[in-house]
Structure 1
Amino acid sequence: MEAPMKTELEAAGGQYNVNPGRRRSTVTSINMHKNLDAKIANPLADIPDEDLMLDVEEFAREKDIVDMLPLLQRGARVAQNPKGYEHIEGLETQELEALRFEHSHKWTHPMALYFTIIICSIGAAVQGWDQTGSNGANLSFPTEFGIGHGETEGHPNQDRDNWLVGLVNAGPYIGSAFLGCWLSDPCNYYFGRRGTIFISAVFCVLTPIGGAVSQTWEQLLITRLLMGIGMGLKGSTVPIFAAENSPAQIRGALVMSWQMWTAFGIFLGFCANLAVYDAGDITWRLQIGSAFIPAVPLCIGIFFCPESPRWLMKKNKYRKAFHSLRKLRYNNIQAARDLYYIHCQLQIEADIVGKSNYVTRFLQLFTIPRVRRATLASFTVMIAQQMCGINIVAFYSSTIFVQAGASQKNALIASFGFGLVNFVFAWPAFFTIDTFGRRTLLLFTFPQMAWTLLAAGFSFYIPESNPARLGVIALFIYLFAAFYSPGEGPVPFTYSAEVFPLSHREVGMGWAVATCLFWASVLSITFPKILEAFGSTGTFGFYAGLNVTAFIMIFFFVPETKQRTLEELDYIFAVPTGRFMRYQTSEALPWWFKRWVMFKKDAKCKPLYTFEGHMMAGDAGSDTSSERQRVGKTG
């Protein structure tokens, strides 16, 4: 089909369904910039077998993998009809057995996949420990550096000291938001996912040690700013690395290990704070310096992981991508299937976004409709993580508990309890994020976080002489953490690592993490001043109100992504935001009210998305290409 005809068809509202071969382009009713019908399609569906085999042959020649042609052809047939593999001719017995095993044992995968997730989890633990090193140190390092008058009422340096303590605490987040996250795109381009994670680990080994030997608050601030480079690179890359290596059916559970082990790192940080409590003048130095410990195995272990197949395909290294997939899947047929299917979807992405450099890729986050919707959704979940108020506790729990009437030691013990609750209650998300979904977890947990924060704030009205005061405040803070951990805790990094097309995944994730960490830095800098101005009750009430605002934003701007391949999400985010919002108010919200407020079990909700053809992942697939399936009653 000639180029002029393509222009004419696109002008008429059609969209090319581009497949690897140059000999065929078929027009479908799906416009990938404006998917008004909310259809999700397999690009290989309904292609005659002869044409499919010719396209695979051309693909193999183009990518210099002709020696794999018979395997690729069988893999393409499976990709075309992933649930109908029993009826595909030519599959070998061991290939059929591997596909059956994959279908019935979704949690059983090669050790290389789980080792990759373990290394990513260590990276997350580094992130969490880095965040809490300053929590206990806040009780002593300001005094040593002459900025410890912030809590002295009426002291002439009170305002300055409040801002300086906040600035030192915010250092890693400032460094991440303004430098580390934005270095992620070029570092990934030149060094790959593994190389970028190694660079980030080096920063995370050296900077805590540098902070521990600092002699002035300015030196401590510089080391924490440099730590932010490592945190930004790691936070932008590790979730992508885990997402790109994971099968779609369990991708959410594996990628959410980022937050679960970040919570574990926060818990370890609190453990370290408490363990060295009696170390005298060097206590705060040990508390800050201990964060280097988990970064060491990250430095070493990352090079034993297979590189991301999608990154290798992006660099046109298809043979290496196949070998990487082979390590991550049990059988060659699974690797060949995924290689060809991912390639087909990447061709569609290339048709949507075209070629671009770093600057234009960043601008396209806000100009290409499909990418812009992902940008809005990732921005929403990331800023909501700061709006919910979790980091006022993660950064300043020791200070909060001291204000509640605890001694310094008891404040550290109470902070330890917060870290433990935060980690333990992250586990439920491991089992629910791919069943209930990302969106449902968020919509359930935000109202709970709002009322628990409000209750914690009102608990400060209990007289200090009452021995129950500290216990009640701690109880509601722990309940807040228990609701946060399975919802807004794991979802933002998991979600943001999924939603962008491969062409914009690094810069998109950089944007998302920069959003999160920039507002974390704002929170860290301003919290001492907000606490001074609003008091404890007013501060907690303020963040309770922000939870309600975040709930509304998520309801309108965040589509569900569970159990879809990364490439199939192109169709989800091709649905216009206006249509998605209208569906939530006209269909989803009335259904929810009838079902869960009026308890009408016969309430029906018209699905937003329809699935056409044989899909690669999730429970929305079908063995009948004409069948339409629905997903999620909340859209």
Structure 2
Amino acid sequence: MADRKSSDIRADSDQIAESKGVAGAPLEKGVSHTEHVDLNQNLQARIRNPLEGLSHAELMSRVEVFAQEKGLTEHIGLLRKGALVAQDPENYENIGGEEALDEEEKAALHKEANHKWRLPGRLYLTIITCSIGAAVQGWDQTGINGANIFFPKVYGIGSDSTRDTLLVGLLNAGPYIGSAFIGCWLSDPINNWFGRRGVIFLSAHFCVWPVIGSAFCHAWPEQLACRLLMGIGMGVKASTVPIYAAENSPAAIRGALVMSWQMWTAFGIFLGTAFNLAVFYTGDINWRLMIGAPFIPAIPLLLLIYVCPESPRWYMKKDRYVDAWKSMIKLRNHPLQVARDIFYIHSQLELEIQLLQNTNYAKRFVELITIPRVRRATLAAFTVMIAQQMCGINIIAFYSTSIFKDNGSDDFQALLASFGFGLINWLFAFPAFWTIDTFGRRSLILFTFPQMVWTLLAAGLCTLLDQGTTRTALVAFFVYLFAMFYSPGEGPVPFTYSAEVFPLSHREVGMGFAVATCLFWAAVLNITFPFLLKQATVLGAFGCYAGFNLVAFVMIFFWVPETKQRTLEELDYVFAVPTSKFGHYQVTKTLPWFFKRWVLFQRSAKLEPLYHFDNEKKATREGAADGPATPLAETKKEESA
């Protein structure tokens, strides 16, 4: 991103350097009247609008410089209005003078606030295309689920020996090995070269040709090679599609739009289980059809991706603001919203870039740990991603047919039970559309993890009953309950959350790390679960994963901040709060409030908010649900966690 040239803007950089390590240090004389929050150590948990406090003259001066440097002078009138709206979003009707909004512009902002789902057709097309990419991912995962009871005998690895059991697990894990060790790490450099759309287009090819090839393999090494290649495409795609959706979506409904990744991944799993059931009676080629069919949804993905606009934030990262404007105009309902969003994003990125310079790939990877603000995002993304594997959902998604068969079902009944799991996993993802941006990401997963503990334990305990219809029905019932709790909670959150939390400069490498974490442990799970199932039975395996759910719950409680209804740039302030301060707040504020409110049922109990908005109106509005927006006592300076 090009450096700004005006003395007014250079003063900001000097001020940030002066105030480094001190949240809210006062400005020097002659600089903007705002105070800046240290993006590495936000001890006071403040969230600030970077334009707040600027005088009208200062703000207009910045707009002039911005428009000239970025080639947007033809939009200068809109940019002036957009900057004023971005500075005080609640007061747009009272803007006066030459920048006063006309009735059409006021109506557009009013509709945006009160009718959040009235979105441009191209934005809906973008989300639909991303959803197709997710369906590819889901079907790729479950195609081999039904084939597991057929192909081991064909490949000569169908015995109960430890070698054959591990080889079956290795073939199941092939895509996740390819993703975790190659695909996810290619995401950053090829995003840099080709943009979000180019990456998705390239990755779709890896989800077509190796998948077709896998249907014609005659030996397990050939099958493994095809599945490793498929995994490269899956890793690149899974690391990019949620970012692409997040960067194009408005903040108020970003969670609902980005979570479509999980919902349509669940739909892909459902399609896979339905297709497996449909081709069961096709004879010896049934398992080949199950493994090869997932290429089908990758075709429309290839055809549609270049009809969608490129991410405006990617263009801004490349200092291509004219292209960013052309892209954003397709994703918003009115040009004023485009002007507001582009100038606001640019203003926040100018602060971010002082701390997070664009560096080479290796250095960006190291900075996932060395820069405190990025490290906290890395820890949170790692937690929600590994929790998705710890919860046990994929032992069902990968091996449900084998589990039901081992439980006494015949082949067709096992496939039918897996179909039921796939259907429930998809249908119960729908509630997350309404809950992820209201209850929030953190609240959803903290609620669902305890429910997954007891449903897994109950399913395992039911295997102690005598074999028969009752046992099969009860095991299926509790597995379905488990899926019902998973789908609106830990299902949609990890990919949505990880796509949000990293700053623009580290978003690709951060998301690549997060997805690699998820898929690496999916590979470990795939390889080890057949062996675990053989040694510990269904009860032992399910009990093990129930314990993992409890561990994941504790990790989330202490390491995962809420991100709902924040712009991607405002999250810089959220992750500037040290982990130690965040954890201390959970122990000293959240737990006592929870005990009073939900154990003692004291309706008067109020939760003192952690984050404080410098904009008083916003503080009052956001704090109303949890208690008064009274600032916490000053915290003595501490090391960033």
Give the whole-Å Cα distance in 1 for the aligned partners of 2:180 and 2:457. 30
- Structure-2 residue corresponding to 1:540: 542
1:13 counterpart (3, 7, 22): 22
CA contact (8 A) 1:361 1:504 kept: yes
5-14 or 304-313: bigger deviation: 5-14
Give the whole-Å Cα distance in 1 for the aligned partners of 2:39 and 2:617. 17
1:72 counterpart (79, 82, 87): 79
2:390 counterpart (387, 395, 411): 387
Distance apart, 1:316 and its partner CA: 0.7
1:345 counterpart (333, 344, 348): 348
Say how many residue pairs are matched: 615
- Structure-2 residue corresponding to 1:432: 435
- Structure-1 residue corresponding to 2:53: 46
1:31 is matched by which residue type in structure 2?
D
2:532 counterpart (496, 514, 530): 530
- Structure-2 residue corresponding to 1:142: 152
Distance apart, 1:604 and its partner CA: 1.8
Identity %: 60
Residues 494-536 of structure 1 show CA distances to partners (whole Å, capped at 9, x for unaligned) of 0000000000000000000000000000000000111112111
2:316 counterpart (313, 317, 337): 313
Structure 2, unpaired ranges of 5+ = 1-9, 633-641
TM-score, structure 1 as length reference: 0.94
1:103 counterpart (101, 108, 113): 113
470-479 or 101-110: bigger deviation: 101-110
Distance apart, 1:26 and its partner CA: 5.7
Give the whole-Å Cα distance in 2 for the aligned partners of 1:618 and 1:229. 47
CA 1:5/1:568 → structure 2, altered by over 3 Å: closer, same or farther? closer
CA contact (8 A) 1:456 1:476 kept: yes
CA contact (8 A) 1:81 1:615 kept: no
- 1:366 aligned counterpart, secondary structure: helix
- Structure-2 residue corresponding to 1:457: 460
CA contact (8 A) 1:249 1:618 kept: no
Residues 524-556 of structure 1 show CA distances to partners (whole Å, capped at 9, x for unaligned) of 000011111211111100000000000000000
Which residues in structure 2 correspond to 1:408-447 (within 5 Å)?
Answer: 408-447=411-450
- Structure-2 residue corresponding to 1:153: none
- 2:90 aligned counterpart, secondary structure: coil
TM-score, structure 2 as length reference: 0.93
2:582 counterpart (577, 580, 583): 580
536-545 or 82-91: bigger deviation: 82-91
Give the whole-Å Cα distance in 2 for the aligned partners of 1:629 and 1:520. 44
Distance apart, 1:322 and its partner CA: 0.8
- Structure-2 residue corresponding to 1:405: 408
Give the whole-Å Cα distance in 2 for the aligned partners of 1:2 and 1:405. 73
2:224 counterpart (221, 224, 245): 221
CA contact (8 A) 2:32 2:54 kept: no
2:146 is matched by which residue type in structure 1?
G
Matched, 1:56 2:63: yes
1:488 counterpart (472, 490, 494): 490
Distance apart, 1:207 and its partner CA: 1.4
1:594 counterpart (593, 596, 606): 596
CA 1:7/1:427 → structure 2, altered by over 3 Å: closer, same or farther? closer
CA contact (8 A) 2:277 2:415 kept: yes
Structure 1, unpaired ranges of 5+ = 151-157
CA contact (8 A) 1:142 1:148 kept: yes
Give the whole-Å Cα distance in 1 for the aligned partners of 2:65 and 2:279. 64
CA 1:444/1:367 → structure 2, altered by over 3 Å: closer, same or farther? same
CA 1:131/1:374 → structure 2, altered by over 3 Å: closer, same or farther? same
Distance apart, 1:620 and its partner CA: 2.9
CA 1:617/1:585 → structure 2, altered by over 3 Å: closer, same or farther? closer
- Structure-1 residue corresponding to 2:104: 94
CA contact (8 A) 2:248 2:311 kept: yes
- Structure-1 residue corresponding to 2:479: 477
Matched, 1:128 2:138: yes
Residues 395-434 of structure 1 show CA distances to partners (whole Å, capped at 9, x for unaligned) of 0000000011000000000000000010010011111000
1:471 is matched by which residue type in structure 2?
A
376-385 or 524-533: bigger deviation: 524-533
Distance apart, 1:10 and its partner CA: 3.1
1:518 counterpart (511, 517, 520): 520
Give the whole-Å Cα distance in 2 for the aligned partners of 1:613 and 1:3. 20
349-358 or 544-553: bigger deviation: 349-358
1:524 is matched by which residue type in structure 2?
N
Residues 196-245 of structure 1 show CA distances to partners (whole Å, capped at 9, x for unaligned) of 00011111011110100111100000000000111001100000000000
CA contact (8 A) 1:252 1:434 kept: yes
CA contact (8 A) 2:63 2:76 kept: yes
- Structure-1 residue corresponding to 2:42: 35
Which residues in structure 2 correspond to 1:159-174 (within 5 Å)?
Answer: 159-174=162-177
178-187 or 92-101: bigger deviation: 92-101
